[in-house]
A and B are shown apart, each in its own frame.
Chain A
Amino acid sequence: MTASVIAPVAEPVRNRETNTRRRLPLRLLAIAYVSLLIGLPVAFLFGKAFGLGVGTFWHQITEPGALDALELSAKVAAIVVPVNTVVGIGAGLLLARRRFPGKRLLDLTFDVPIAISPIIIGLSLFLAYSKIGAFGPWLFKHGFMLVFSVPGIVLATMAVSLPYVLRSIVPVLIEIGETQEQAARTLGAGMWRRLFTITLPAIRWALLYGIALTLARTLGEFGAVLIVSGNVTDKTQTLPIYIYDAWDQVPTNDAGAFSGAVLLALISITVLVVLSILRARERRLRVDIA
């Protein structure tokens, strides 16, 4: 790392200029590609939503249906993000630090939500826990209704956002190794003290990055939630489903859909910005270490 930081300084200035000139077409291509794919469409969305007037936008996102959806999304995130953070840290430590039979299988299982479509996860949960499903009748008899209800949404969101904390921290856990924890142990520190004073501070940026990704995924999840929520207006609508619902109405509720979409995008962009700051900080930290 140190070498790569020092190297450009030693490089002759002339050389760097030719490099920039040669890279220019490549840069333009990259910018054009990203603009056409994401930048322009999102800009149009913002233009459309605010084109109706800021007043209309405000009215749309504060109407009861939208507020309910926002509240439910926030509630789901408030449950899912902490739970998946704890599970991710635990499983991450297990995968990075221990050897046990079935480790590879566990490792692979954590990739399933990334690899397969969320709608498959939604359908699987439905098959397992709905009234016609495997455990559904038993659960229903004991007063639990997991499908078409908030617990179902939480369950589905938890499943799709499961891997992000784990995938962020495992490489860092492996990279820093176990010796700091062992040193703390020889100095008398117990398991929890080691976790909170040594391990977590050592992986803090990667962990925050993982939490931000989990939050973004939790707020944005649509497919899996759609299947298990049953789309009950005012009751089981998260923000993405509210947007879909507005768009799907006859006649289409344009203003509602676009305003909701912009609100969701604004939240996600905020998470994205925080995330990029964290990433920069982590990169700086690693250069320091090297």
Chain B
Amino acid sequence: MLYELIGLEKIFGGRKIFDIDRFSIRSRRIYSLTGPNGAGKTTLLKILAFLDRPSAGEIRFCGKPVVQVEGDLLDLRRQVVMVDQSPLLFTGTVIDNVEFGLKMRNFPAAERKKRAIEALQKVGMEQFAPAEAHRLSGGETKRVALARALAIRPKVLLCDEPTANVDSEHQKIILDILADINRREKTSIIFSTHYQSLEQQLAHFCLHIQQGHLSEHQADNVYHAELIERGQRRCSCRLSERVVITLPARAVPAEPLFNLRIDQGRIRLADITGERETEGSLVEGRVAQIREENGGIEVRLDAGIVLDLVLSPGMYADRSIRVGEVVAVVIPDDAVHCIPNNGQLRKE
């Protein structure tokens, strides 16, 4: 486990921000962290970055208890980097900033420069290396701050609202970078966000903090997929031992392992006869949960994967499905969004 939080409490100004009984965070995964304003997302990230101390409780990092002593914390901080929501760059040039973390670790000048340029290339800012850092725009500053963190090659990257106040073009660049470093360098990433689409597109797991409690769920209908057969027209992709779906060949990424998201609003109950529809995949599962949500009926199927779908109240009344019943659903091709490991979304 990367982090284990045991009885973690944070009290600020007499108010208990959060109270986490027991919680674990796995390594090499991407986690999103959501919650209402003031729920303590940034405070939790600061505690995970060892920049703030909990009021009570224990943190274990890579299996070892964290001792809140400056010398020990410095060693831990050198494995975890947090990128602020509105990062500040230090006075000096862009490359001075990117080299900063390496300088603190006494890297030789040549190695520092090499790594800094590499990091700037990752964020597409290498041409700004000699520029004064204070003259950059907000989006550019965010990318340089990300490069400054990446140059260190941290074990854990914590990002507070990485795409907040950034235009859509720069948002995409930042998301691509995060997905890429998770895949290539196995960097564990935890990022806070207000955007559900971002959470679903990027995260393997979603953390939600509300009223002081932290909960985790797998990103809704996001799965790791393995390409098992590539045909000329359609490809077979395995989502679990039991679940294999087929997708149009043009929608499937070139690499054998990728993520995909299934839009829960487009999944349909199959006809009673179970007849297979032409453009989609048929999946059978047991109804595990039914609940009303925002005027729709959310149904959770245990199909070897956890599959959530939303029915209209009319459809639900017609079919009158019950918990425990086995039902078949059709996943139309246009409900599946493939996410190659470089983070770019393909929609079919």
- On whether the two chains bind one another, the answer is no
- B residues near A, CB below 8 A? none
